[in-house]
Amino acid sequence: MPITREQSSIRRSLTYAALLLLAFGCARRQEHAQPEPASPPTKITGNSALASASENPGLLAEVAERALPAVVSVASTRAAKVESPELPLDNPFLRRFFGPSGPLPFPMPHGQAPDEHGLGSGVIVGKDLILTNAHVVEGAKELEVTQGDRRTLQAKLIGADAKSDLAVLRITSDTQGLTPLEFADSSRARLGQLVLAVGNPFGIGQTVTMGIISAKGRADLGIEAYEDFIQTDAAINPGNSGGALVDLEGKLIGIPTAILSRSGGYMGVGFAIPSNMAKPIMTSLVEHGRVMRGYLGVAIQNVDAELAKALSLPSAEGVLISDVSPRSPAEKAGIQRGDVIVSIDGQRVQTTGQLRNMVAAAGVNATVKVEALRSGKAHTFNVKLGSMPDEAAAPASSTPGASSRLGVGVAPLDAATREQAKLPADVRGVLVTSVEPGSPAATAGIRPGDVIEQVDKQPVTSPEQLSEKWGKSSGSTAFLVWRDGHTFFAAVKHP
């Protein structure tokens, strides 16, 4: 029931009286108290941090003060995405040709849209490195990095990985006085463990919120292609993306990346990329300009009780192989449709998300030990992993994150790919599987589903050829592209 002003006034009076009595009692006890010897300061490490947080309220302030200088604001400027306008309902001539609804199949003339501005966070994790989310810097023409003390840092993008939503920036200005955060071992994170989220929500400035780790290993949420999230109830809001989730030792345990919300704001369920996943991805981006994930070449699905019963499996554990790609690493090793993978390199596998992450993290050309069940019997396969088909076209460069990046994922036109994409037998080239927004390919109008047949009038039959020919070209390069039964030339400009 609502509280009136009169009731509120009475309550305040009673509260003041109670505080006076409490203060008087404390003073009387102090007169008779014996002074206690001062205890030496203790270093808070490991599991003792949780108990010490309640015994030492200043601990949280110390952790926050340690983390704040390493968390920065990342502002981006990008070209606005302009959609083709809807067909006018009162134009029967256009409707006759293009149908009763839907966008035009070509852009209508329009004025230049103003640039869009985004704001997120980042974490200094090395002498001159900043780790953030890929969606914070996606399509950015300009980046501005600012510390909490309003010091501006010059930085450039080294590389971004949309599949994990991670990106790395390199600081190109003076790095003197910067204090990077140390990575924690996220595998040791415990449910109920206190954590702090540090970032720049809503662009209001650096903010610290506190919560607990409420779940681990969250996957199959459909947020990213590769998921192994730490879930926390520490307040995470728009602008916190790319910031820091730190433990009570002041170490980076995760990168906040998403929230589960019906309103767009904090509802107590936030997700962070664990440090043990972020660190190797960051290293790969720095060393290669892209993430080199392992590739097994199988279609997979989870095993539930009904499926286990139908397949006469001993239990609903492991991951079922529903298909094997021709000439893939899995096929070469002898893995077959219907096999159930139960472990990789001795680590138990229970979900498709776990299997996908394990294979990807193992890396290209790594040999992994795969244990599987076939007709109830255990089998072991030594599989030499390959490279993800849609990542094979990312150009290698002597300079990580070089501006020559084309911005497409492609796959070779083998029999399986051709059948899946329903391509005619006479079409030759590489299939475009993904296009990065704002990339040279996207600007030239190349779309997923297109087939790149030629680069500078030279045939392209593999992702490696595409990467090589694009890397050798400069200025505007002519691409011959097949789409929906006809070909056209696209002028792709090097940035």
Q: What are the tokens at 119?
A: 């704001």
Give the total number of structural domains in the chain: 4
Residue type, position 312, single letter: S
pLDDT value of position 340: 92
Max mean pLDDT among 94-103, 248-257, 448-457 falls in 248-257
For residues 81 and 122, state if they share a domain.
Answer: yes
Q: Which DSSP string do the residues of 413-468 spell out, in sequence order?
A: --HHHHHHHT--TT--SEEEEEE-TTSHHHHTT--TT-EEEEETTEE--SHHHHHH
For residues 321 and 356, state if they share a domain.
Answer: yes
> What average pLDDT does range 328-343 have in this prediction?
93
> What average pLDDT does range 463-467 have in this prediction?
86
For residues 450 and 361, state if they share a domain.
Answer: no
In a domain, 64, yes or no: no
Question: 5-14, 430-439, 461-470: lowest mean pLDDT where?
Answer: 5-14
In this structure, are residues 435 and 446 in contact, taking their beta carbons and an 8 Å threshold? yes
Question: 91-100, 284-293, 350-359, 396-405: lowest mean pLDDT where?
Answer: 396-405
Domain boundary among 288, 320, 355: 288
In a domain, 233, yes or no: yes
Residue type, position 490, single letter: A
For residues 260 and 204, state if they share a domain.
Answer: yes
In this structure, are residues 155 and 180 in contact, taking their beta carbons and an 8 Å threshold? no
pLDDT at 317 over 80: yes
For residues 378 and 415, state if they share a domain.
Answer: no
Share of the chain above pLDDT 70, in %: 78
pTM of the model: 0.61
In a domain, 445, yes or no: yes
Just list the catalytic residues.
135, 165, 241
Per residue in 207-221, pLDDT (tens digit) is: 999 999 999 988 878
Query: Which residue, 384, 385, 381, is CA-closest to 360?
Result: 385
Q: How many Å apart are CA 34 and CA 109, to the nearest integer?
A: 85
Max mean pLDDT among 25-34, 122-131, 257-266 falls in 122-131
Q: How many Å apart are CA 210 and CA 59, to the nearest integer?
A: 13
In this prediction, residue 400 has a pLDDT band, given cuts at 50, 70 and 90, of very low
In this structure, are residues 273 and 227 in contact, taking their beta carbons and an 8 Å threshold? no
In this structure, are residues 269 and 259 in contact, taking their beta carbons and an 8 Å threshold? yes
For residue 333, give the H/E element and its range.
helix 329-333
For residues 276 and 300, state if they share a domain.
Answer: no
Q: How many Å apart are CA 473 and CA 492, to the nearest integer?
A: 10
| DSSP 8-state symbol, 494 | P
For residues 230 and 271, state if they share a domain.
Answer: yes
Q: Are strands 116-124 and 129-132 parallel, antiparallel or unpaired?
A: antiparallel
Q: How many Å apart are CA 370 and CA 66, to the nearest integer?
A: 43
In this prediction, residue 122 has a pLDDT band, given cuts at 50, 70 and 90, of very high
Q: How many Å apart are CA 466 and CA 397, to the nearest integer?
A: 14
Torsion of CA 28, 34, 40, 42, to 10 degrees: -50
Q: What are the tokens at 37?
A: 């010897």
In a domain, 362, yes or no: yes
Q: How many Å apart are CA 200 and CA 212, to the nearest integer?
A: 20
- Taking only Cα atoms into account, the Rg of the chain, rounded to an integer number of angstroms, comes to 28
CATH number of the domain at 142, please.
Answer: 2.40.10.120
For residues 143 and 195, state if they share a domain.
Answer: no
In a domain, 30, yes or no: no
Torsion of CA 433, 436, 442, 447, to 10 degrees: 20
For residues 350 and 425, state if they share a domain.
Answer: no
In a domain, 45, yes or no: no
pLDDT at 206 over 70: yes
pLDDT at 424 over 90: no
pLDDT at 95 over 80: no
For residues 138 and 215, state if they share a domain.
Answer: no
77: left (phi over 0), alpha (psi -120 to 50) or beta: beta
pLDDT at 465 over 60: yes
> What average pLDDT does range 250-274 have in this prediction?
90
Host domain of residue 438: 392-399+406-493
pLDDT value of position 92: 41
pLDDT value of position 261: 82
For residues 441 and 348, state if they share a domain.
Answer: no
pLDDT at 303 over 80: yes
pLDDT value of position 389: 67
Query: Which residue, 408, 418, 493, is CA-closest to 448?
Result: 408
For residues 95 and 147, state if they share a domain.
Answer: yes
In this structure, are residues 153 and 169 in contact, taking their beta carbons and an 8 Å threshold? no
In a domain, 435, yes or no: yes
In a domain, 53, yes or no: no
CATH number of the domain at 369, please.
Answer: 2.30.42.10
- Where does residue 446 rank: exposed (0-12), middle (13-18), buried (19+ CB within 10 A)? buried
In this structure, are residues 89 and 73 in contact, taking their beta carbons and an 8 Å threshold? no
pLDDT at 403 over 80: no
